[in-house]
Amino acid sequence: MTRSIDLDTMLARLGQTPAPPSSDYDLNRDVVLPAERTLRPAAVLIPVLGGRVILTKRASHLKHHPGQIALPGGRIDATDADAAAAALREAHEEIGLDPQNVELLAHLPPHETVTSYSVSPILGRVRAEFSEQPEEGEVAEVFRVPLAFLMNPARYRIERRRWRGTWRHYYVVPYGPYYIWGATARILKSLADRVAK
């Protein structure tokens, strides 16, 4: 059963529950990461509208992460003032979400990916309904998942697959035909764990 949750309750709980950074390696403790590794900065927006989180399905022909489910976002460019500005810019480019239509609510702990990015998740409230405009050639679909579903830690499970010759474990949170996994699932799971406490 999916329990109800709203953004104001979430924010109150986030303020009470500090969290460490997360990583694609969280479930793979045998991996030793070099201390001198270089991570590229990126940011994603967790846009919530009417109790639902807006997600994208990447185009199947893309070289990196084809067909995967993602939060709107990408690399932080030199022209971006900060991580929040990058997340808003990318959300505008990818799904047509006007930055003025977003109230920024919280900066969440960074997430390190296996592709050497340090991703800054930004939680935002979308103020009003908007006409979604998937970025041609990059975004195959824009869809929404109930916030209460994603904020229930029991919805997440751990799966594994072979990657670069070893077994890699990761979180998944399937929703209907959408297989949400990897960094997106880990970022959302970290948020769900804090909200559930």
Residue 2 lies in a domain: no
Q: Which uninterrupted H or E stretch holds 69?
A: strand 69-70
Q: What pLDDT tens digit does each residue of the chain (197 aa) get? A: 456 788 998 999 898 877 889 998 889 878 777 778 899 999 999 999 999 999 999 886 555 555 689 999 999 999 999 999 999 999 999 999 999 999 999 999 999 998 899 999 999 999 999 999 999 888 999 999 999 999 999 999 999 987 777 788 999 999 999 999 999 999 999 999 999 87
What total number of domains does the chain contain? 1
Q: Does a structural domain hold residue 33?
A: no
Q: Beta-carbon neighbour count of residue 163 at 10 Å?
A: 13
**Inside any domain, residue 172:** yes
Residue 168 gets the label, from left (phi > 0), alpha (psi -120 to 50) or beta, of: beta
Contact of 31 with 112, CB cutoff 8 Å: no
Q: Would you say 189 and 173 are in contact if contact means Cβ atoms under 8 Å apart? A: yes
- Indicate which CATH number applies to the domain containing 181: 3.90.79.10
Whether 49 maps to a domain, the answer reads yes
Asked, for residue 102, whether it belongs to a domain, the answer is yes
Residue 137 included in any domain: yes
Report if residue 124 sits inside a domain. Answer: yes
Give the residue numbers spanning the domain of 54: 7-25+40-196
Does residue 32 fall inside a structural domain?
no
* Whole-structure pTM value: 0.93
State CA 42 to chain mean position distance: 11
